[in-house]
Structure formats: structure tokens, C-alpha cells
Structure 1
Amino acid sequence: MWVEIPVLVVVALVIALTVKTFFVQAFFIPSASMEPTLQKGDRVLVDKFTPWFGATPQRGDVVVFHDPGNWLTQADVPAPSGNGALRGLQSALSTVGLMPSANEKDLIKRVIAVGGDTVKCDSGAPVKVNSTPLDEPYIYPGSTPCDDDTVGEVTVPKGDLWVMGDHRNDSADSRFQRTHHKGDGFVPVKDVVGRAVVVAWPLGRWSTLPVPSTFDHVGLAAGTAPATAPALATAVTPGALGAVGVAAPLTLWRRRQRRHRGR
């Protein structure tokens, strides 16, 4: 028993670390910036597996990404709790995915445009991607697509993304960063952790996160090419290998659906 128990613990830690690193990771949603798609307190599963095979973020995907440059203030990041020993233990456990990280600096938004696209966001008008207006039934009821942060027309550089929260009037997204922080508002594809594919918790809100039909419009892709490289979200325990069994088939199904719609 004294030999087997330590071995089992080590094996469990290795499995947890492998799942978190290469397959799927769960994230906690602490803000309202993606309502109504994601509610405060939701846990979502993020696919980190398919990017290893060349999958890249597409228009309409909900993605988790590292802070690309001071999007988050110190007040947005949860402060570590406890004494030095407890903080060290929490840091070690969060590394292998067995505990939430105390200082995550990740965000979650919807991809609106990819590298090569032009985005136009004017007051009183819908968002336009490559001159095509977007019908956005997923945004928060009563929200205006662009009224609070207008940016005119911008072109997304290759290798970058333009992202927005579904709660447009409560989201410090690409528009906000460009108009208020004097940044460009772009998210490098290399900073993307993965694509959110499932709302896993609470059970009453279990659902997949498919790409809205809005982004099937043929005009969106005219003359553009997708990026070529792969609201504050807090990482939590991935669950177990069973999460991979959920995320991987769902991702493959989504890709087949996209190809079918394209044909």
C-alpha cells in the first residue's frame, strides 16, 4: 500500500497536467462581459487539442486568450490569499490543474474578425465585417452593437484577431482598448489559449458553444484569408480524461458542420 498510493498520486498528477496542457482546460467566468452566452459563475471547457493539428480561431468562435497588453487592471486579477506556504501550495496545484490559479490573466471574448478582415463599428449601425453587416442575435438584449465605443473602420493585421464581448455595453474588448487605452485593440493569435466549446457547469446551463449562423455569410470571406497561427477567465480543474471525450468529438463535429455549410 505504501508503494502503490504514492505511485497512484504521481500518475494522477501526470494525467491532470497532461490533460490541462494538451487537451482541455476549464475556465471560470467571473464577469458579465459575455452575457447572455456566458453567465457569471459559468465553467466552460476550452479545446487546446485541435490547434496542435493546425486549427486556428475563426470568426464567431468564443476564445480564451492571455492578456495581450494591459487589458486587465490589477483590480481585475484576484489577489492571492493566505500565507506564503499556502500560496506556494496553491501555485503548485494550479500548475497541474488541480486548483484554480490565484493570478490568472486570461480573458474570454468572441472572435469577430481575423487577419486580413476590415471591421467597421459606427454609432447607430451594426458591426460590419468586409462591408457585410452582422445580424447578431447573441448579443445582450438591449445592447447596441457599437454605440458606446465607435472605432470607424480598421483592418486586422495577419496573425491577429478582433474580439468583442456579447454584452457590448459591459465589455472592455477590442473597441474599448482602441478608443480608451490608445492601443490597437488586436489580439495576437499566438496569445490564444483555445476555443470554448462547452458550458460544463452549472449542470442546468450545460450547452455547446457553436459558431452562430451569422458567420456563414459568404460575403464575410470575400477577399480575405484566415489567420495563419493558432472577460477575464479564471482557470479551474479540467475534471478528468472524460472532459476530453466531450470536447474533442464536439470540436470535430463543429468542423464537419462548417465544411458541410461551405459546400
Structure 2
Amino acid sequence: MLVALVLSFCLQTFVGRQWYVPSESMEPTLIGCEGCTGDRIVTQKISYFTGDPKPGDVIVFKGPTESWGLEPMQKVRSDNTIIRGIQEGLSFVGLQPPNENNLVKRVIAVGEQTIQCRPETGVTVNDKKIVEPYLADTAKEFAKQDACWQKPFGPITVPDGNVFVMGDNRMFSADSRFHMEDRLQGTIPKADIRGKVVAVIYPFSRWQTVRAINPQQG
């Protein structure tokens, strides 16, 4: 049992782990909603040990500043002190989720790139309009009327080592656009990224790999 726990800890810490999708912000890529069976996803960390996140990567990250919320998106700890202590211990070996505000979004821009959204141009990175085939149909339809989904922003230059993220369900995603007044201007440091999403593993009817589609390549 001790060996199994050590192996689990090593896998969760250095390779990857399982997460739960609690909201609809990444639909249709990832399904999640209150009261439904949200997707269970798997992330890997290995590629970020030797490289940096790239545009189009779907990532799980910890909200880096207070503006992202102080409480986890789902209640992951018991109010009972003893049970909560056990849950904290199990989280170290990957048998319970960590007690932090983890979110899942898509990387749109990376360090030293300048991103903005203007009604006349839509979202641009380094003054080049991005192309996003993964967007939810509602977001695509709304963009025909308002290219910024009522949320013009920027321009901001993403700090080196950080990323700017947005949800595929653009109308229902409190992503980097909504945190641009904080000290990081809504960007996410690499240190707060928990992994790159590689697959949906549950429910079984939704099993699939998750592709990184680079919006900057058209």
C-alpha cells in the first residue's frame, strides 16, 4: 500500500492527474454544468517541464489572484475537522482534488505577445486576427453582431512566462478578460498551471482526446 501511495504521489506530481469540469465555460470542447455529469479530464505535465504552453493548449490552472475567487469552484472539503484532515492527506497522493480554485481554459496568447479585442477587428494577437473553429455556436452567432461579445479589451502585452486564456463558450466564461484590473492583467503565470488537458475519460460516451488548436495559425 505504501509503494502504491508513493507511486500515485509521483504520478500526480510529475506526470498528470484527473480533474472535474464544473462549468459550461469550455463547451462544446468540455462539458460541465450544475446538476449534470461533468466531464472528467486528464492532464499531463511532462511537456511543460521541458517547454512552455503554446497557443491553443487547453490547460488547468489555479486562479493566480484574488479576483479569480478565493473559494474552490466546487466544495471539495468536508466541514468535519477529522474528515477534512483525511481529505487533505489524500489530496497529496491524488485520491482527492486539491483544495484550491482550479479552472480550465484555452491559451490564446503567450509571453511577449500583444492581445486585444476591438469591435471592428475582433480578437487579434500581434495585430493579426485569430481564427477559432472550436467556439460554441452561440459565441459564433453573437460574434456576427459583436466581435468582442460585449467585452472589448486591451491592448495588453502578456508578460514573459505568462499566458492569456479564454473559454471556448465565450458568452459564459469569466476568463482573462474579466481580470484585467488585477496585478497580472488577467494573465496566468506558468507556475500556476497544473497541466495540459489531453483527454476526456468520463462519462464513457464522451471519451475523446482534447486537441490543441492554435487560433493564431488560421
TM-score interval (norm. to shorter): 0.7 to 0.9
Shift of 1:75: 7.2
* Kept after mapping to 1: 8 A contact 2:20/2:40: yes
Match of residue 93 from structure 2 = 96
Specify the SS of the correspondent of 1:20. helix
Percent pairwise identity = 40
Deviations 1:171-212 (A, max 9, x none): 111111116x68611111222111111111111111111222
* Kept after mapping to 2: 8 A contact 1:65/1:193: yes
Q: Distance in 2 between matches of 1:129 and 1:184?
A: 16
Match of residue 127 from structure 2 = 131
Specify the SS of the correspondent of 2:91. helix
Match of residue 35 from structure 1 = 27
2:205 pairs with 1:204: yes
Letter in structure 2 aligned against 1:51: Y
Letter in structure 1 aligned against 2:210: L
Q: 1:215 to 1:207 in 2, by over 3 A?
A: farther
Specify the SS of the correspondent of 2:94. coil
* Kept after mapping to 2: 8 A contact 1:198/1:207: yes
Residue 109 of structure 2: which of 109, 113, 127 is its match? 113
* Kept after mapping to 2: 8 A contact 1:126/1:135: no
Q: Distance in 2 between matches of 1:28 and 1:49?
A: 20
Q: Distance in 2 between matches of 1:30 and 1:124?
A: 33
Shift of 1:32: 0.9
Q: Distance in 2 between matches of 1:191 and 1:86?
A: 27
Specify the SS of the correspondent of 1:175. helix
Alignment of 1:69-218 (within 5 A): 69-70=65-66, 71-74=68-71, 76-78=73-75, 80-101=77-98, 103-123=99-119, 125-143=121-139, 144=143, 146-178=148-180, 184-212=185-213, 214-217=215-218
Q: Distance in 1 between matches of 2:116 and 2:159?
A: 15
Q: 1:166 to 1:203 in 2, by over 3 A?
A: same
More helix by share: 1
Number of aligned positions between the proteins: 206
Give TM-score, length-normalised by structure 2: 0.86
Runs of 5+ consecutive residues of structure 1 not aligned to the other structure: 1-8, 218-263
* Kept after mapping to 2: 8 A contact 1:199/1:206: yes
Give TM-score, length-normalised by structure 1: 0.72
Q: Distance in 2 between matches of 1:86 and 1:152?
A: 45
Deviations 1:16-57 (A, max 9, x none): 1111011111111111111111101111111112222x1210
Shift of 1:124: 5.6
Runs of 5+ consecutive residues of structure 2 not aligned to the other structure: 33-37
Shift of 1:213: 5.4
Shift of 1:147: 2.2
Q: 1:174 to 1:213 in 2, by over 3 A?
A: closer
Residue 16 of structure 1: which of 4, 8, 20 is its match? 8
Q: 1:42 to 1:124 in 2, by over 3 A?
A: farther
* Kept after mapping to 2: 8 A contact 1:62/1:196: yes
Q: 1:19 to 1:79 in 2, by over 3 A?
A: closer
More strand by share: 2
